[in-house]
Amino acid sequence: MRIGIYPGSFDPITLGHMDIIRRGLKLVDHLIIAVAKSPSKRTTFGPQERRDMIHESLAEMGLDLEVDLFEGLLVDYARRRGAVVIFRGLRAVSDFEFEFQMALMNKKLDPEIEVVFMAPEQEYIYLSSSLVREVASLGGQVSDLVTECVARKLYGRFQSDRR
């Protein structure tokens, strides 16, 4: 069985991420969405909240996939889970340099795990979690950028911050 991992902070998960998930599923037998618990990175939502939003988003899309939390080196996690491929999304040239550097380091740490770069569909190429958070924090419409459950959580979080 070919196991793939799609790691990220997913703060929050967007329709661009969902696009990569849907397409990555065609390439592996089992796909794990791995939510990074990075204590050094400030996030709007905690790891459990992000995991729950991903579960809800997948359910909205009719998908039932494993969503897990991880910390530490991604290749160590991938090795423990028996993964043979790591999926990474690339939106623009600016993403490439960082992602390429990370892919080369991961390859050095474990040459058996392949990294597959996937570009999202054109309609999502500009989309990032940070952009979605910023628009939502300013009261803008994000319902066409994220699933319904994520839009509700974002609006709820930022409306409570404004009080």
Return phi, psi of residue 147, to 5°.
Answer: -70, 165
Confirm whether 17 is a catalytic residue: yes
Residue from 17, 50, 133, 153 carrying the catalytic annotation: 17
Residue from 9, 55, 57, 129 carrying the catalytic annotation: 129
Residue from 91, 107, 152, 157 carrying the catalytic annotation: 91
Which positions ≥6 away from 7 have C-beta within 8 Å?
Answer: 34, 35, 36, 70, 74, 77, 86, 88
Residues 55, 121: Cα–Cα separation, whole Å: 22
Residue from 41, 42, 162, 163 carrying the catalytic annotation: 41
**The pair of three-digit structure tokens given for residue 33, joined into one six-digit string:** 């969405």
Task: Say if residues 85 and 115 touch (Cβ distance below 8 Å).
Answer: yes
Confirm whether 55 is a catalytic residue: no
Active-site positions read: 17, 41, 91, 129
